[in-house]
Structure 1
Amino acid sequence: MSSALKDIYSKEMITFITESLKETYPKLDAKSMVSFITKNGWQGLELKDRIHRICLAFIEFLPKAFEKRNLLLIQYIEKLRQKGVPDFNFPHIYLPEIVSETGVSEFESSMKILEEITVFTSAEFAIRRFYQEDFLGTVQQMKEWAKHKNPYVRRLASEGSRPFLPWGIGIQKIKANPEIHLPILERNWNDSDETVRRSVANHLNDISKLQPDLTKDFCLSRLGISEEGDKILRHALRTLLKRGDREVLSRFLFNTSWKPKDLYFQFKQKSIHIGESISFLIRFQNTSKQKEKIRIEYKIKFLLANGKYGEKVFQIGETTLDPNNSLEKTKSHSFRPITTRVYYPGKHSIHIILNGNQVATGEFYLKAKAKKKGNS
C-alpha cells in the first residue's frame, strides 16, 4: 500500500529541515523546534495541517523582525539547493505560507520575497491571502509577474489567480470577475515554457465553469497559431468538450450529427459491491460514406446521500473510424472508495456518449461493501 502524501514529513524530513535551518541560523534551538512540530497530535494531522505546523514553527523560532526573517529564509533556500533540493519542489511549500502568515501588512516586501521563494516552491496558495487583503494591488502584481524572465514566476501569475485553485482559498472577487486576469492569459497562453502554458490552460478551464463563452471565444480565436498552442487550448476546453459543446466539438472535427449503426451496449455484471469494478462493452458501426472522428465517453449517475443523483463524464478515447467499419471497446470503472467521493448502495446508471450525443443507457446496482469471509 502506498504511503499518504502527508508522510513526506517523516521524522527524517523534519530532522533535515531543522538541521538545515540551524546551519543557516546557528542560534536556532533545533531540538525544541522538532518538539514544537511533532507534539500535540502530529501523527493525526493531515497534509495541509502538517504544512501549517511547520510554518508556525519557523515563525516561532526565527527572529520576529519581518525583513530579518525573510533574509534567513532566502539563505535557508540556498542551503537546501546546495544540498541538492531542486527548484519547484513540493515538500518545502511551508515557506511561502510563512510570508502569508506574517506579511499581509507588508505588501511590497512580501511580494519581493514571494517572487524569490516561488522559484524554489510555489507561492500559489500563499498569494491568495494577499488577494483577500488587497485585491487590486495583487492583481496588478500578478500582471507584472506575467512578464517575468523566470517561468516559475510567470506560472505563479496564472496559477495563483485561478478561480478554482485546488487547495487554495476561494476568492469571490475572482469568481465574479474572471475576465480581470485575461491580460495574463493573453500574454502567456503560448509561453515558451510548458509549465506556464498548462497553468494558463487550467485557468481558462476554470473560467469555462463560470463564463463558458469567455473561454470559448479566447481559445477558438487562437486555434491554428502553433502546434503547442493548440494542445494547450484543447486542454483549456476540456470541460466544454465533456459538456458536449457543439461549437467546440465541431472545431476539433467531431461531427455532432453523426449517429452510430448497430449499437450494442452491455454490462458484464448486473450488480457489484462497493470496492469492486463494473465492466461494460460497447460496439457500433460507421455506415456513413466517409471516415468519422469519434469521441467516446461515458457518464455515470451516482446515487447521493440525499437520494438524488450526481453525475460525472469520463473519456474512453478518440478514434477515426473508416466507412462500414465497426469498433468494440471494453471498459471497467472502479467503485473503490476514494477521498473525493463516497459511494452509496442503490441503483446507478451509465450513459454512453459519442461526439457529445447520449446514445445508450444502462442501469446496475451498487451493493454495500461485501463482508470478508471468516468475519463473525
Structure 2
Amino acid sequence: MAPPLKDQFGPAVVERIADTLPVDRDSFIAACLSGFADLELMARARHVADVMHTHLDPDPAVAVQQVHTAIGTERLPGMSAFFYNPHSAFIGAYGLPAFDASMAAMYDLTKVFTAEFCVRPFLQEDPRTMDHLRAWAGDPDEHVRRLVSEGTRPRLPWAQRLPGFIADPQPVIELLDLLKDDGSDYVLRSVGNNLNDISKDHPELAVEVASRWSPGRAALIRRGLRTLIKDGDPAALAVLGYAPNPATAHADLPTEIAIGDTLPLAVELRGHGKVLLDIAVHFVKANGTTSRKIFKGGEVDLAGTAVIRRTISFAQHSTRRHYPGPHRVEALINGRTQELGVVQVRPTPVSPA
C-alpha cells in the first residue's frame, strides 16, 4: 500500500522551508512540528502557514515579499511541488491586505506549484483580482493561463467553494471564453473541468455555452458536459450529436451470480446513428434499498447491429461492499434508460471444512 500523501510532506520539508525564510530556524521548526504528526496534508500546509505568520515580518506586504523571495524558479515534479503548499496557504490567509504584493507572488508561485487555492479568497474579497485574471489569460506561460480557469472553478476539489460564482457563473464564463481555443491541452482540460463545475448548478447555461462553442471543440465540450452526459441529459447529448432514440438494446443476462464473481455483459444494439452506451446497475445495499451506479459501456456509429461487451465485478472491496438480492441492470442509450433484466446475486459459497 502506498504511504499517505501527508508523509511526503514531512519534517524534512519543514526544515527545507526554514532554510529559505528569514526566520529563527530552530524556533520555526519547533513550532511547525508541534502537533504536526496528527495533521493531514492540507492541514499541515495551513499549520506551517500560521507559523510563518508568527515568525515573518508583521507588515503583510513585507511578509508576502519574504514568502515571494523564497519561491524558486523551477517547477518541481509530482508531489515534490507541494513544498510550496504552505506558501500558497500563507498568501491565501494573510495576503489580502497586501494585494499587489500577493498578486505578484501568485504569478510566480503558479509557475512552480499552483496558486489555484490561494487566489480564491482574493476572488471573494477584492474585485481587482478579476482584472489580473483577464490579463493573465493571455500570458505566454501555460501555468499562468491555467490558473485563470482552475482558480475560478466554483467547486474546485480540496479548496473552498466560491458561492458568488456558484450563484452567478457569468464572470467565469467570460474568462473561459478567452481560453476555449488555448493551444495547451493542459489549459483546455482545466477549462472543461470548470464548465463541468458550472453544469452542476446551471445545467442549461452549461449546455448553452457548449452549444455556442460547438462545433470544432468536441473534446473540450465532452469534458465540460461529462456530468450531464453521465446523467443522460438529452440537451447535453444533443450538443455532441447524439439523437434521443437511435437504437434498442438486448442482453442475455445470467439468472444468478455469487458475490465475488464477475457479471459478463454482451449488449446487442440495433438501429442507426451515433450511440453512447452506459450500463446502470442497481446495487443492493445493507438495508435492502438499492443504489444505482453507472459504468461506461462504449460508443459506436451504428449501422444495423453491433455488440458492446463489458464485465462488472462483484468482488468485495473496502470501497464497495456487495449484498445478496435482485440487481436490476439497465442500458443507457444516449441517456435513455432501457431495462436489460434482473440478476439474482447470492452470497459467496461457503467452502466445506
Q: Give TM-score, length-normalised by structure 1.
A: 0.79
Paired with 2:32 and 2:254, the residues of 1 have a C-alpha distance of 51
Q: Secondary structure of 1:197's match?
A: helix
Q: What pairs with 1:153-302 in structure 2 (closer than 5 Å)?
A: 153-225=144-216, 229-260=217-248, 263-266=250-253, 270-272=257-259, 278-286=262-270, 288=271, 292-301=273-282
* Cα drift, residue 266 of structure 1: 2.0
* Cα drift, residue 246 of structure 1: 2.7
Whether the aligned pair in 1 keeps the contact of 2:61 and 2:98 (CA below 8 Å) is no
Aligned counterpart for 1:55 among listed residues 27, 49, 54 = 49
Aligned counterpart for 2:96 among listed residues 97, 104, 109 = 104
Q: Which amino acid aligns with 2:4?
A: A
Paired with 1:100 and 1:295, the residues of 2 have a C-alpha distance of 43
Deviations 1:38-61 (A, max 9, x none): 332x33322221222232233333
Q: Which amino acid aligns with 1:331?
A: T
Paired with 1:370 and 1:46, the residues of 2 have a C-alpha distance of 40
Whether the aligned pair in 2 keeps the contact of 1:349 and 1:362 (CA below 8 Å) is yes
Whether the aligned pair in 2 keeps the contact of 1:90 and 1:122 (CA below 8 Å) is no
* Cα drift, residue 214 of structure 1: 1.5
Aligned counterpart for 1:19 among listed residues 12, 16, 19 = 16
Paired with 2:22 and 2:239, the residues of 1 have a C-alpha distance of 61
Deviations 1:309-335 (A, max 9, x none): 554433222233443x44141322465
Instruction: Mark the CA change 1:3 to 1:352 in structure 2 (over 3 Å): closer, same or farther.
Output: farther
Using the aligned pairs only, state the percent identity: 24
What residue number does 1:358 align with? 337
Instruction: Mark the CA change 1:53 to 1:366 in structure 2 (over 3 Å): closer, same or farther.
Output: farther
* Cα drift, residue 139 of structure 1: 3.4
Query: RMSD of the alignment, in Å?
Result: 3.5
Q: What pairs with 1:133-148 in structure 2 (closer than 5 Å)?
A: 133-134=125-126, 136-148=127-139
Instruction: Mark the CA change 1:107 to 1:269 in structure 2 (over 3 Å): closer, same or farther.
Output: farther
Whether the aligned pair in 2 keeps the contact of 1:96 and 1:118 (CA below 8 Å) is no
Instruction: Mark the CA change 1:4 to 1:317 in structure 2 (over 3 Å): closer, same or farther.
Output: farther
Whether the aligned pair in 2 keeps the contact of 1:297 and 1:314 (CA below 8 Å) is yes
Q: Secondary structure of 1:85's match?
A: coil
What residue number does 1:71 align with? 65
* Cα drift, residue 4 of structure 1: 2.1
* Cα drift, residue 70 of structure 1: 2.6
Paired with 1:270 and 1:143, the residues of 2 have a C-alpha distance of 56
Whether the aligned pair in 2 keeps the contact of 1:21 and 1:76 (CA below 8 Å) is no
Q: Do residues 336 (structure 1) and 317 (structure 2) align?
A: yes
Paired with 1:66 and 1:96, the residues of 2 have a C-alpha distance of 14
Whether the aligned pair in 1 keeps the contact of 2:149 and 2:191 (CA below 8 Å) is yes
Instruction: Mark the CA change 1:244 to 1:19 in structure 2 (over 3 Å): closer, same or farther.
Output: closer
* Cα drift, residue 249 of structure 1: 2.5
Q: Secondary structure of 1:153's match?
A: helix
What residue number does 2:8 align with? 8
Instruction: Flag structure 2 segments of 5+ consecutive residues without an equivalent.
Output: none
Instruction: Mark the CA change 1:160 to 1:26 in structure 2 (over 3 Å): closer, same or farther.
Output: closer
Instruction: Mark the CA change 1:6 to 1:149 in structure 2 (over 3 Å): closer, same or farther.
Output: same
Aligned length: 350
What residue number does 1:37 align with? 32
Q: Which moved more, 1:184-193 or 1:297-306?
A: 297-306
* Cα drift, residue 349 of structure 1: 4.1
Paired with 1:185 and 1:360, the residues of 2 have a C-alpha distance of 39
Paired with 1:370 and 1:25, the residues of 2 have a C-alpha distance of 62
Paired with 1:112 and 1:233, the residues of 2 have a C-alpha distance of 33
Deviations 1:267-294 (A, max 9, x none): 585452xxx57524133143x4x5x432
Whether the aligned pair in 2 keeps the contact of 1:268 and 1:278 (CA below 8 Å) is no
Q: Which amino acid aligns with 2:29?
A: V
Q: Give TM-score, length-normalised by structure 2.
A: 0.84
Q: Which amino acid aligns with 1:235?
A: R
* Cα drift, residue 201 of structure 1: 0.8
Paired with 2:29 and 2:173, the residues of 1 have a C-alpha distance of 44
Paired with 1:55 and 1:106, the residues of 2 have a C-alpha distance of 16
Instruction: Mark the CA change 1:367 to 1:4 in structure 2 (over 3 Å): closer, same or farther.
Output: farther
